[in-house]
Amino acid sequence: MKKVICAIALIATAGMTAQQFSKTQALDSVYLDTKILKPRDQSGKIVTLITATELASQQGDNLATIINAVSGIELNGSRSNDGQNLGYFVRGGRNRQVVILIDGVQVNDPSSIANDFDLRLVSVSSVEQIEIIKGAASVLYGTGAGAGVINITTKKEAANRISGSFMTTVGTNNAADKKDDKFAANEFTNAAKVSGTLNWFTYDVDFNHRYVDGLSAIAAPEGEEAFDSDAYERYNAKLRLGAKINKDIRFSQFFSIDEFDAAFDDFSYTDAPFLSETRQLRTGGNFVWKYAKGEYVFNDSFSWIKRDTESSYPSKFDSKLYSLDNYLTYHFTDNVTALIGLNYNSSSFNSYSIPFGETVFTQNVSDETATFDIIDPYVNATINKGDFTASAGARLNIHSDYGSHIVYNINPSYLFTIGESKLKALASFSTAYITPSLFQLHDPLYGNLELMPEENTTLEGGIEFTGKNSLRVSALYFNRNEKNFVDFVTVDAENYIFQYQNISEEFTASGVEVELGYQATKALSLTANYTNTQVEERFALRIPEHKVNASARYALTDATSFGLNFQMTGERTDSFFNPDTFESETVILDSFSVIDFNVSTQVLKELRLFAAVNNVLDTAYEELFRYQTRGRNIRVGLALDF
């Protein structure tokens, strides 16, 4: 098996694909790096686009698994039990340093430790595309955008009066080397959508459901009977209504309900009937007015999130978040464009727990105190003069607790023409500002009101070559420096007292991202990426030093295509709480390689059939110490459009 994996790895690094670069390969224009749509050649960033075609080829996968194939990103937990908590490690950063947008609006949970957004709430079936930039991006996307930004764009309404789609998949959900129930159906995903345009009026209705069972959250000790499975179930419903006043003005309003239940086991690595429930209600709007010299965009979103945990330490949380981002662009000339915007964010949360020896929940954090507001005016300008392009901007972060703070960025690039090929050299220097979460400030056990915001700077430099047959090769070096890092610190080990504190030392994460894409023939597309991440030992938890993604797609006919995906994740460190010694210990997790296969065929104009085999070689591995991961599994499904 090792020889097979090594051979595939060599092929992969020589030319097979990382899904991620086939996505960037199709990207002729970019938006996320400046909020202004422009040709890719004029961007000073390496922007990743996960297209609708790529998403369709992975129907039935969870969103984290798909994003995990992007260079520079490790979404820890994406190959484990569906209900597993996710770690967002982007260029050595953590969850709180990654901003997630849905349709251009920042989403997060003010009651969570990292003030992050839970990707388990999102159905892949509702997503049209995903755009990703890495590095500090606080100028355009505010506090928290220290390591990267992920923008999820949902599917829009059809142009016809009425149009619909239905998708269903069924599959297995086994751990590696499982001997019994090898082909039991334990994974079910269904999605339905009806939308259309009636003159000026638009409508869109979506419903998604996913149920997965058969896999325990924690792996039983070797030689012992497997633990009971821990099921995961998610529901999504969304209604969006809109109007197109004319070709230049449109607006819409949405209402959505997202919820999931995830069973889990005890942190002492024993089987347990615990349950985590998350409910989210969201509503918001979008307004776009295009005029001769630019456009005005208004996006907002209000969310209410409720989380309940049934365990040995039961807890309840509810939070409220209102996010608003509006900006205006103006093209002074064909070469100079300016953007001015205002971002507003209001967050608050309540929490409840059962005191020791009692049976009734008591409130321990109130949204009257656990609340803050952020108002951010920002500007950005883009200059394009011949082959030279530069983008620069600044944001004034006005925080209700921390006062004012300025972040800025500068991002020049130059395009060289070499015959029929192009070589782009790019560089950037950006600063970011990450405020502590409300949980880190106000939690009664671990909170610390003296916490200060983290400060982050990122330096990037690289090249991108574009040649014949859609050949694209890029290499990028990044260096990210962090001050005032908020860490979970042991205050008094004997009395088990811990607290969130800023640490005095600075730390640096650096690395290299190499990407390759090539259309070898009309039918065969090949891409690959490699990431090397260097993080100081104290901050390297679950971050692999080496990671390779690769995939190949072959179109047998116009209707039928096959895909082969490869992922190698290098050795990582992990930390776990030893219930016998009551101490935190460090362990090294071995590197692993996984191969996935998928096939899709268009049987009729309205009907597409697809199938996939994940972890073809049934490789056993760990993403987190002692937690279960998925082995060889089979999935089949169909998509119907009408």
Q: What is the DSSP string of 145-176?
A: TTSEEEEEEEP---SSSSEEEEEEEEE---BT
Give the per-residue pLDDT at 179. 57
Contact predicate 48/61, CB 8 Å: no
What distance lies between CA 279 and its chain's CA centroid?
19
For residue 523, pLDDT beyond 80: yes
Number of Cβ within 10 Å of residue 583's Cβ equals 11
CA 553, CA 562: separation in Å to the nearest integer? 6
Whole-number average pLDDT of the chain? 91
Q: With 60 as the cut, is the pLDDT of residue 447 above it?
A: yes
Q: How far apart are CA 173 and CA 183, in angstroms?
A: 9
User: In which region does residue 161 sit, left (phi positive, over 0), alpha (psi from -120 to 50) or beta (all else)?
Assistant: alpha
**Cβ atoms < 10 Å from Cβ of 327:** 22
% of the chain at pLDDT higher than 70? 94
Please state, for a pLDDT cut of 90, what percent of the chain lies above it: 82
Residue 492: exposure state from Cβ atoms within 10 A (0-12, 13-18, ≥19):
exposed
237 C-beta neighbours (distance < 10 Å), count: 14
Query: Token pair of 123, please?
Result: 């159905």
Higher local confidence (pLDDT), 46 or 110: 110
Which pair of tokens denotes residue 235?
A: 């529901």
Radius of gyration of the chain (CA): 24
Q: Which residue has the tokens 């050795």?
A: 571
**Residue 431, SS3?**
strand
Q: What per-residue confidence (pLDDT) applies to 308?
A: 98
Average pLDDT over residues 519-539: 94
Nearest CA to 104 among 39, 43, 196, 36? 36
With 0-12 / 13-18 / 19 or more C-beta atoms within 10 angstroms meaning exposed / middle / buried, residue 640 is middle
Token pair recorded at residue 224: 């012992």
Alpha carbon distance 335, 337 (integer Å): 7
What is the mean predicted confidence (pLDDT) over 69-85?
95
| Cross-strand partners of 586 | 575
CA distance 590 to 570: 7
pLDDT tens per residue across span 458-477:
999 999 999 987 899 999 99
pLDDT in tens, 466-505: 998 789 999 999 999 999 999 999 888 777 789 999 999 8
N- to C-terminal Cα separation, the chain:
45
Please answer whether residues 75 and 87 qualify as being in contact, where contact means their C-beta atoms are separated by less than 8 angstroms.
yes
Query: What pLDDT does residue 357 have?
Result: 85
Measured CA angle at 307 (ends 304, 313), to 5 deg: 155
- What is d(CA 537, CA 559) in angstroms, rounded to the nearest whole number? 49
> Could you tell me the pTM of the whole model?
0.93
In the prediction, which pLDDT does 178 show? 66
Tell me the H-state helices in 324-475.
438-442
Q: Which residue has the higher pLDDT, 544 or 10?
A: 544
**Strand-pair category, 98-102 with 148-154:** parallel
Say yes or no to pLDDT of 565 above 50.
yes
CB within 8 Å of 515: residues ≥ 6 apart: 18, 20, 21, 24, 46, 71, 472, 473, 474, 475, 527, 528, 529
Average pLDDT over residues 309-328: 97
Between 368 and 29, name the one with better pLDDT.
368
CA–CA gap between residue 223 and residue 427 (Å, rounded): 54
Q: How far apart are CA 594 and CA 7, in angstroms?
A: 13
DSSP state of 180: S
The pLDDT score that the predictor gives to residue 27 is: 45
Does 51 have pLDDT greater than 60? yes
Q: Which CATH architecture has domain 2-641?
A: Beta Barrel (2.40)
Q: Record the tokens describing residue 311, joined without a space.
A: 């365990």
User: Residue 639 carries which side chain, given as an amino acid letter?
Assistant: A
Residues 141-187: pLDDT tens digits? 999 999 999 999 999 999 999 999 999 999 999 998 665 556 799 99
| Residue in 312, 317, 342, 313 with CA at minimum distance from that of residue 35 | 342
Handedness of CA 432, 373, 453, 537 (dihedral sign): negative
548-564 mean pLDDT? 96
User: With contact defined as beta carbons under 8 Å apart, do 628 and 217 qualify?
Assistant: yes
Tell me the C-alpha distance between 175 and 34, whole Å.
43
Q: Which residues, listed in sequence order, are joined to residue 264 by a DSSP beta bridge?
A: 274
CB of 145 within 8 A of CB of 136?
Answer: yes
**pLDDT reading at 43 higher than 80:** yes
Q: Residue 252 in contact with residue 286, Cβ under 8 Å?
A: yes
Q: What is the 3-state secondary structure (H, E, C) of 511-524?
A: EEEEEEEEECCCCE
Tracing tokens 């971050």 back to the chain, one arrives at 543
Judge contact between 545 and 511, C-beta under 8 A: no
Token pair of 388, please?
A: 């030279």
**Among all chains, which residue has been given the structure tokens 């490690």?**
89
**Is residue 30's pLDDT more than 90?**
no
Q: Which of these ranges, 40-54, 203-217, 390-404, has the smallest mean pLDDT? A: 40-54
In DSSP terms, 565 is beta-bridged to 551, 596
Q: Over 90: is that where the pLDDT of 57 sits?
A: no
Where does residue 537 rank: exposed (0-12), middle (13-18), buried (19+ CB within 10 A)?
exposed
- What residues contact residue 631 under an 8 Å CB cut-off, 6+ apart? 174, 175, 176, 177, 178, 615, 618, 619, 620
Confidence of residue 28 (pLDDT cuts 50, 70, 90): low
For residue 262, give both structure tokens.
């995830």
**Average pLDDT score over residue span 198-221:** 96
User: For 466, how many CA atoms within 13 A lie in the half-sphere containing its CB?
Assistant: 16
Total Cβ atoms within 10 A of residue 181: 12
Taken as a whole, the chain contains a residue count of 642
Region of 345 on the Ramachandran plot (φ > 0 left; ψ -120 to 50 alpha; else beta): beta
Question: For residue 26, what pLDDT is reported?
Answer: 39
User: Could you give the C-alpha distances from 544 to 38, 71, 75, 502, 532, in angstroms and in order?
Assistant: 34, 12, 11, 25, 8
Burial 10-22 (b: 16+ CB within 10 A, else e): ebbbeebbbbbbb
Question: Does residue 20 register a pLDDT over 70?
Answer: no
> Residue 498: helix, strand or coil by DSSP?
strand
Q: What is the pLDDT of residue 181?
A: 54
